[in-house]
Amino acid sequence: MAENLNPFLIAQQQLDQAAEIMELDKTAHAILREPMKSLTVNIPVRMDNGSVRLFKGFGVQYNTARGPAKGGIRFHPKETIDTVKALSAWMTWKTALADIPFGGGKGGVICDTKEMSERELEALSRGYIRALGNYIGPDIDVPAPDVYNTPQIMACMMDEYATIAHTNNPFSVITGKPVEVWGSAGRKDSTAMGGMFVLREAAKSNGIDLKNAKIAVQGAGNAGMYAYLLSKKLFGAKVVAISDSKGGIIDEDGIDEAKLVKAREETGSVTGYEGGTKVTNEELLEWDVDILIPSAIENQITGSNADKIKAKMVLELANGPVTPEADNILHENKVFDVPDFLVNSGGVIGSYFEWIQNREGYYWTEDEVYSKLDAIVTRSYDQMEATRSKLKSHGKNVSPRVAAYVIAVERVADAMKFRGWY
Ligand code: GLU
């Protein structure tokens, strides 16, 4: 039977698996299988040619037992309510695993940013905030950037919120802002930086020497591009492959930074890279490397290609790149697959730091941000591995993802219990 790739179904399956292992209370399980709040809005936008187009947007607050909903807003032509629901569930587990005082939420708009002018995009962003303005706020729901979204858009959204909320201090309503409007030092690359700290720990415990490691990165957005730059800079690792939505390139001598920048500037895609071998995104995933870093979107490693993955380790920098069927295959094949909601938690942890700084009106240095980030993700990694060992000693041989789920779900369930929700 073909694998069902509906992301929300996948998120529920993952929860069910953890619930069974940890013998989760049935009522808590039922609450955690569904989002608490899920909204659909239609946003009219005046386009440059004078016509008005209607865009569909979503806002989901999955669970707020541990604090305000937190998560990014995705702009994607294939956005669906189920993708946003799944991503909001994953945010709930992400903030719980990191043990930061937030719940999980997510936003999304069906749109193709590549076909829109800057003015149209700004109008859409402001329209989104007007539509959902009553449901967000520093103590309610704190959005951030995600796929095809930028710090500039966050600034516009914050500005729109300032008007709605009649405030000159709107900064803590949204994170991932440019530093000029009180974004945090280090937030821009905090997703990839957190992933690099996790990579360092995972390499250590799996006996991989990063200096001699070959890496493939799928995706060249904010997460993928910084993963490429940082794995070279921090560890001297050799990144031999990188891709974007148009395809990928391989350079066994290591992708040259100057050539990569030139390709993106001149052709708008990494595929314009001079020399090297052109590959598809599918081929890149199956390339013979030590570490594979999927940094694009969900459902990239599935039941149909998981067996062909040659990497010893998969570092999930994207949200949801590995399906449950693939998860089982990788686990059986002894590929160490580090789950998304740990690997990319640096993004929301950076956002947490930004929110604290905005509320206090006192700002930290980049070094302070990175060292605090390192402490949190390293703690999460250690807790995940400790839980995995504990489960193993009880005869339960689970993947890193399941161990991380057990920790996160327990934290959210405990908060609900103390609050009297069940
Ligand atoms: N969009 C990022 C994520 O998926 C960051 C979310 C945030 O900073 O709130 O984790």
Domains of the chain: 36-174 (3.40.50.10860), 190-343 (3.40.50.720)
Handedness of CA 125, 126, 128, 133 (dihedral sign): positive
Atom of ligand 1 nearest to the CA of 176: 8
Residue 25 has pLDDT above 90, yes or no: yes
| Direct distance between the N- and C-terminal alpha carbons of the chain, in angstroms, rounded to an integer | 37
Phi, psi of 249 (to 5 degrees): -135, 150
How do residues 67-114 score in pLDDT, each as one tens digit? 999 999 999 999 999 999 999 999 999 999 999 999 999 999 999 999
How do residues 182-196 score in pLDDT, each as one tens digit? 999 999 999 999 999
- Distance from Cα 71 to the centre of ligand 1, integer Å: 5
- Distance from Cα 252 to the centre of ligand 1, integer Å: 32
Distance from C-alpha of 352 to C-alpha of 359, rounded to nearest angstrom = 11
Pull the structure tokens for residue 158.
Answer: 């914050």
Q: Is the CB of 319 under 6 A from ligand 1?
A: yes
- pLDDT score at 178: 98
The SS3 assignment for 100 reads coil
Q: Is the CB of 175 under 6 A from ligand 1?
A: yes
Sheet strands (E) in 93-188: 104-110, 141-145
Q: Is the CB of 351 under 6 A from ligand 1?
A: yes
- The pLDDT of 155-169, averaged and rounded, is 98
- The pLDDT of 356-384, averaged and rounded, is 98
Atom of ligand 1 nearest to the CA of 147: 1
For strand 313-315 and strand 291-294, is the pairing parallel, antiparallel, or unpaired? Answer: parallel
Pull the structure tokens for residue 378.
Answer: 């390293």
- Distance from Cα 276 to the centre of ligand 1, integer Å: 33
Which one, of 253, 254, 246, lies nearest residue 270 by Cα?
Answer: 246
Residue 219 has pLDDT above 90, yes or no: yes
Q: Is the CB of 146 under 6 A from ligand 1?
A: yes
- What's at 121, amino acid-wise? L
Q: Is the CB of 413 under 6 A from ligand 1?
A: no
Sheet strands (E) in 49-89: 52-63, 69-76
Annotated catalytic residue: which of 70, 106, 177, 312?
106
Q: Is the CB of 344 under 6 A from ligand 1?
A: yes
The SS3 assignment for 170 reads coil
Using an 8 Å Cβ cutoff, are 226 and 217 in contact? no
Question: How many residues comprise the chain?
Answer: 422
- pLDDT score at 391: 98
- The pLDDT of 45-67, averaged and rounded, is 98
Given pLDDT bands bounded at 50, 70 and 90, which one contains residue 1? confident
Pull the structure tokens for residue 232.
Answer: 């070279």
Quick one: the chain helix, strand, coil %, rounded to 5? 50, 20, 30
Q: Is 278 a catalytic residue?
A: no
- pLDDT score at 65: 99
The SS3 assignment for 157 reads helix
Pull the structure tokens for residue 200.
Answer: 């360092």
How do residues 281-297 score in pLDDT, each as one tens digit? 999 999 999 999 999 99
- What's at 55, amino acid-wise? F
- The pLDDT of 390-406, averaged and rounded, is 98
How do residues 310-325 score in pLDDT, each as one tens digit? 999 999 999 999 999 9
Residue 396 has pLDDT above 80, yes or no: yes
- pLDDT score at 2: 86
- pLDDT score at 59: 98
- pLDDT score at 380: 99
Using an 8 Å Cβ cutoff, are 70 and 146 in contact? no
Which one, of 420, 419, 384, lies nearest residue 18 by Cα?
Answer: 384
Atom of ligand 1 nearest to the CA of 72: 1
CB crowding 236-265: b at 16 or more within 10 Å, else e: ebbbbbbbbeebbbbbeeebeeebbeebbe
Q: Is the CB of 72 under 6 A from ligand 1?
A: yes
Atom of ligand 1 nearest to the CA of 319: 4
- Distance from Cα 332 to the centre of ligand 1, integer Å: 30
Q: Other CB atoms closer than 10 Å to residue 82's CB: what's the count? A: 16
Q: Is the CB of 195 under 6 A from ligand 1?
A: no
- What's at 47, amino acid-wise? M
Atom of ligand 1 nearest to the CA of 146: 1
- Distance from Cα 103 to the centre of ligand 1, integer Å: 12
Pull the structure tokens for residue 369.
Answer: 């941000």
Q: Other CB atoms closer than 10 Å to residue 389's CB: what's the count? A: 10
Q: Report the chain's mean pLDDT, rounded to a whole number.
A: 98
Phi, psi of 166 (to 5 degrees): 50, 60
Question: Probe ligand 1: pick from 97, 140, 141, 146, max atoms within 8 Å of CB?
Answer: 146
- Distance from Cα 384 to the centre of ligand 1, integer Å: 20
Question: 420: burial class by Cβ within 10 Å (0-12, 13-18, 19+)?
Answer: exposed
- The pLDDT of 337-350, averaged and rounded, is 98
- Distance from Cα 277 to the centre of ligand 1, integer Å: 33
Atom of ligand 1 nearest to the CA of 90: 4
Given pLDDT bands bounded at 50, 70 and 90, which one contains residue 47? very high
Paired with 57 in beta bridges are: 41, 109
Which element (helix H / strand E) includes 370?
Answer: helix 366-393
Distance from C-alpha of 373 to C-alpha of 385, rounded to nearest angstrom = 19
